[in-house]
Chain A
Amino acid sequence: MSIKDRMSGNEAVAYAIKQIDPDVMPAFPITPSTEIPQLVSNYIANGQMNTEFIPVESEHSSMSATIGAEAAGARSLTATSSCGLALMWEELLVAASNRMPCVLALVNRTLSGPININCDHSDSMGARDTGWIQIYAENNQEAYDNMLQAFPIAEDEHVHLPVMICQDGFITSHAVQNIILNEDKDVCEFVGEYNPGEFLLNKGNPVAFGPYALSCYSMEAKKAQEKAMEDSKAVIAKVAKDYRERFGRGFTFFEEYRTSDADHIMIIMGSAAGTAKQAVDDLRNQGKKVGVLKLRVFRPFPGQEIANVLQNCKSVAIMDRTESYNGHGGPLSSEVRAALFESKTYPEVVCYTYGLAGRDFTVEDVYEIFEELENVSSNNNISIIQHRYINLRTKEDR
């Protein structure tokens, strides 16, 4: 039996953590993720969980303590946002390279500057090459479902990599929506007991983590870590399938929304996918063949699978909620275009930057984007600005 409730994204993730009941949670508060450790602390104080909560003095320490606890043999996780993630930088790479199956609940918020507390993906996108698996949610339900899948993925013997569960700051983390929760016993069965293979508190079986390695070992170590990321794809797919069979919800690497016969497809991540899907429904009612590919897993990047979905469409809008300052689009644009090139699939592509630092992104914006895509693909003479901002004030507007 499942339980109907209404919750914010932060409440949903905190509830998932309560059900997982991990061994250790070190955390430091930062907007908009503060509620997660706060609610977990309440659960612990009320005797509803057995987790050891460690209040630390910074995010540098919270990630260090998470790694330390994980190495000791404890199932460990933490939560953060924005500059908190930035302060964890060094440890993010340490967690991944030491193959720690720990988990981070990330509530996406922009990075300075200008200093701002609202949502975009610049924090997690900046950490995209730290070796963490990254899974994104459209809403509170997906944040909850993804959280429950994090440890089964991380702890799989073919993976042993840390997992970042991302949801959009405020839009998802603070907005209350309906949600379906799983029974505690079903979650326990799904997540399972943690049996670490090698750990520091394993008496009689000494082990050292993170030794210094000269150049004659480092390159091989990094390749082995990269191989684990490749192998994690099969495990993510298996865990998603198990979850779907048991609880009836969820996607593998992405959701395909009305894409099968679509001429024009928008690729998007996070809460704005809901806006895009509404617009697609409206345009479909007008007879337009449009669809949305909502990306769930950004690391490992499912390039070939995305290219397969896009092989028959005429044009693609790639939506980045962060700026790469590289002069030609954000990280999602770079990854998708590389995947298309590799698979010799060449639709018209336009890269859009939207929603930076909480800028609104509306159904009307999506209408305009699809209109532009239609013009691009029906008129060969039109000159396309390949990298465009949505809802940006410019002198031309006057």
Chain B
Amino acid sequence: MRTDISRINEHTPYEELTEGLMMFAGGTSKSFKTGEWRTNTPIFHSEKCKQCLLCAPVCPDGCIPVKDSKRSDFDYDHCKGCGICVKACPFNAIEMVPGVEPVINS
């Protein structure tokens, strides 16, 4: 029964799925790239950022990585472009631009 779920994909026959689609691992949403869902994209201007970190906790998808008390650029694999971080930033260090492509390519 217990299976390495990385071996299960959309080509797996029904006989080889786990019972009731049980998942034998945590944090599997990481491997599900939802960034392509967004229609607007936040751009991080690091020169304006004071590292107040008001943005990171309000992100519903945990897409603002924080290390050693400093934020870095967005996790565009999962950011859905909701724009909540833009409203939270007191220093205009995040700018919302239309579209998804420019940022993913940069």
Q: Are A221 and B14 in contact (CB under 8 A)?
A: yes
Neighbouring A residues of B26 by C-beta, 8 Å? 206, 208
Contact-residue size bin, chain B (C-beta under 8 Å from the other chain)? 10 to 19
> Which A residues, 30 to 85, have Cβ-Cβ distances below 8 Å to chain B?
none
Stretch at the interface among A212-220, A252-260, A363-371, A384-392: A212-220
A205 within 8 A of B: yes
Neighbouring A residues of B22 by C-beta, 8 Å? 99, 198, 207-209
Neighbouring B residues of A134 by C-beta, 8 Å? none
Neighbouring A residues of B10 by C-beta, 8 Å? 216-217
Given the contacts A198-B1, A205-B2, A211 and B19 also touching, CB distance less than 8 Å: no
B60 to chain A, nearest CB (A): 16
A208's nearest neighbour on chain B, judged by CB, is B23
CA separation between A228 and B25, bound complex, in Å?
A: 24
Neighbouring B residues of A99 by C-beta, 8 Å? 19-20, 22
Neighbouring A residues of B24 by C-beta, 8 Å? 198, 205-207
B102 within 8 A of A: no
CA separation between A366 and B35, bound complex, in Å?
A: 68
Q: Are A224 and B23 in contact (CB under 8 A)?
A: no
B47 within 8 A of A: no
Neighbouring B residues of A398 by C-beta, 8 Å? none
CA separation between A225 and B15, bound complex, in Å?
A: 10
CA separation between A213 and B26, bound complex, in Å?
A: 16
Neighbouring A residues of B69 by C-beta, 8 Å? none
CA separation between A210 and B19, bound complex, in Å?
A: 10
> Which A residues, 209 to 268, have Cβ-Cβ distances below 8 Å to chain B?
209-211, 213, 216-217, 219-221, 223-225, 227-228
B26's nearest neighbour on chain A, judged by CB, is A206
Contact of B17 among A198, A205, A208, A221 (CB under 8 A): A221
Contact of A220 among B1, B2, B17, B25 (CB under 8 A): B17
> Which B residues, 1 to 31, have Cβ-Cβ distances below 8 Å to chain A?
1-2, 10, 12-15, 17, 19-26, 28
CA separation between A316 and B20, bound complex, in Å?
A: 39
Given the contacts A206-B26, A216-B10, A221 and B1 also touching, CB distance less than 8 Å: no
Ordered nearest first, which 7 A-B pairs have the shortest CB separation?
A220-B14, A99-B20, A216-B10, A208-B23, A98-B20, A223-B14, A224-B14
Additional A-B contact list (9), CB under 8 Å, known A213-B21, A217-B10, A227-B15:
A98-B20, A197-B1, A198-B19, A198-B24, A220-B12, A220-B14, A221-B21, A224-B17, A228-B19
